[in-house]
Amino acid sequence: MKISSVCLVLLTAEVYGVAAREAHYTATVTPNGEGYTLAPQNSYGGWVNPEDLTPMPQCIAQQDQSTWLSTMTKCTSKRCTRHFAFICTHYQWLTQLSCLSIGFSSNVIEGYLPYCGRSVLAKAQLYLWIRKITGRTWLVDVGDANELQNLSPASLTKGYAAVDVIYKAPICLTGSVSALSMEPFQHVVASCSFTSTAQHTGNAARPWEYSESLRSMIALDFETVGYNLAGRSIRYGDYFDKECFCGAFAIDPEKEPCLVLGQLGLTKERLWINATCGAMSLPDNWTDTLKTTEFAYIPTEDWHWPMCVADMPKQVIELTDHCATDACEVDSSGYCKVKRAVDKACFCRNISYDSCGGSCQIFETRIDYIKWLHDLCGNVQDWHGLPDNWRQLAAPTPLELIPWRWTLKPSSDSNITNDTRLGSARATEKCASNEWKLGSFALVNIATFLAAFLSQRTFIHQIARGFLWHPRPRCWFFKGTLIAALQLVANRFNVFLVQTTPGYEDVPVIELMLLWCSMPRLAWLPILLNFPAAASFLFAEMILQCLSSYCMVMTASYGLEHGFYRGGMERVERGGPAKIMYAGALIWAIIIISLVLFKLVWATPRMDKSRGSEETPLTSSEGEDYAVYGTFSVKGHNNWVSQKLSVELYATVKIILLLWIAQWLFWAGFIGLSSEEYVFMHILSPC
Ligand X SMILES: *[C@@H]1O[C@H](CO)[C@@H](O)[C@H](O)[C@H]1NC(C)=O
Which residue, 255 or 566, has its beta carbon nearer to ligand X?
255
- 387 contributes a contact to ligand X by CB under 6 A: no
Minimum CB distance to ligand X, residue 425 (Å): 5
Q: Is 408 in the site for ligand X (CB under 6 A)?
A: no
Length of the chain counted residue by residue: 687
Q: How far apart are CA 172 and CA 502, in angstroms?
A: 77
Minimum separation from the CB atom of position 403 to ligand X (A): 20
Closest Cα partner for 480 from 451, 456, 453, 459? 451
Least distance from ligand X to the Cβ atom of residue 312, Å: 13
Nearer to ligand X by C-beta: 417 or 610?
Answer: 417
DSSP codes, 655-679 = HHHHHHHHHHHHHHHHHHHHSSSHH
- E strand or H helix that includes residue 636: helix 634-674
Q: Does 428 bind ligand X (CB under 6 A)?
A: no
CB of 299 to ligand X, least distance (A): 16
CA nearest to 228, candidates 143, 116, 138, 124: 124
Q: Which of 216, 350, 499, 638 binds ligand X (CB under 6 A)?
A: 350
The answer to whether 267 contacts ligand X (rule: CB under 6 A) is no
Contact flag: residue 157 with ligand X (CB under 6 A): no
CA angle, corner 161, sides to 156 and 167, nearest 5?
150
State CA 555 to chain mean position distance.
34
Contact 257, 177 (CB under 8 A): no
Number of H helices, E strands in the chain: 25, 13
Binder among 334, 387, 439, 617 for ligand X (CB under 6 A): 334
Query: In Å, how far from its chain's centre is CA 471?
Result: 68
678 CB-near residues (< 8 Å, 6+ apart) = 408, 409, 425, 426, 427, 687
Which one, of 502, 482, 500, 480, lies nearest residue 490 by Cα? Answer: 482
Alpha-carbon span 505 to 438, nearest angstrom: 21
425 part of the interface to ligand X, by CB under 6 A: yes
CB 139 within 8 A of CB 145: yes
Q: In angstroms, what is the minimal distance from the CB of 271 to ligand X?
A: 6
- Would you call 632 helix, strand, or coil by DSSP? coil
- For position 39 contacting ligand X by CB under 6 A, the verdict is no
Cβ–Cβ < 8 Å for 176, 207: no
Q: Give the neighbor-by-neighbor strand order of the sheet with 87-96.
A: 47-48, 87-96, 76-84
Tell me whether residue 184 or residue 313 sits nearer to ligand X (CB atom): 313
Q: Which is nearer to ligand X, 151 or 271 (CB)?
A: 271
CB burial readout 649-677, b (16+ within 10 A) else e:
beebbebbeebbebbebbbebbebbbeeb
Of 285-293, 447-455, 486-494, 588-596, the segment contacting ligand X by CB under 6 A is 285-293
Neighbour-count burial for 410-438, b at 16+ CB within 10 Å, e otherwise? beeebeeeebbbeeebebeeeebeeeebe
Residue 333 as a binder of ligand X (CB under 6 A): the answer is no
Shortest approach of ligand X to residue 235 CB, angstroms? Answer: 22
Looking at the Cβ atoms of 312 and 451, the one nearer to ligand X is: 312
Q: Which is nearer to ligand X, 356 or 447 (CB)?
A: 356
433 near ligand X (CB under 6 A): no
Smallest distance from ligand X to CB 474, Å? 50
| Site mask for ligand X (CB under 6 A), range 601-640, x = bound | ----------------------------------------
Q: How many residues bind ligand X (CB under 6 A)?
A: 22
Q: Could you say whether residue 415 binds ligand X (CB under 6 A)?
A: yes
Is 271 near ligand X (CB under 6 A)? yes
The stretch near ligand X (CB under 6 A) out of 202-210, 272-280, 389-397, 512-520 is 272-280
279 or 525: CB nearest ligand X: 279
Nearest residue (CB) to ligand X, 157 versus 643: 157
The total of other beta-carbon atoms located within 10 Å of residue 49's CB is 24
Q: Is 319 in the site for ligand X (CB under 6 A)?
A: yes
Nearer to ligand X, 183 or 676 (CB): 676
Choose, by CB under 6 A, the member of 107, 150, 285, 428 that binds ligand X: 285
For 509-541, b where at least 16 C-beta lie within 10 A, e where not — what string? eebbbbbbbbbbbebbeebeeeebbbbbbbbbb
| Distance of closest approach, residue 334 Cβ to ligand X, in angstroms | 5
Closer of 215 and 426 to ligand X (Cβ): 426
Decide: is 330 part of the binding site for ligand X (CB under 6 A). yes
- In the bound complex, what is the minimum distance in angstroms from residue 411's beta carbon to ligand X? 8
- E strand map for 116-229: 160-162, 193-195, 208-211, 216-219, 222-223
- Judged by beta carbon, residue 208 or residue 245, the one nearer ligand X is 245
SS3 at position 95: strand
Among 322, 391, 472, 654, binds ligand X (CB under 6 A): 322
Q: Quick one: 292 or 685, whose CB is closer to ligand X?
A: 292
For residue 152, give the 3-state DSSP assignment: coil
Asked if 349 is part of the footprint of ligand X (rule: CB under 6 A), the reply reads: yes
Contact status: 424 vs ligand X (CB under 6 A): yes
Identify which range of 41-49, 150-158, 414-422, 531-539 contacts ligand X by CB under 6 A: 414-422
Under the rule (CB under 6 A), what is the footprint of ligand X? 271, 274-275, 279, 285, 287-289, 315, 319, 322, 330, 334, 349-350, 413-415, 417-418, 424-425
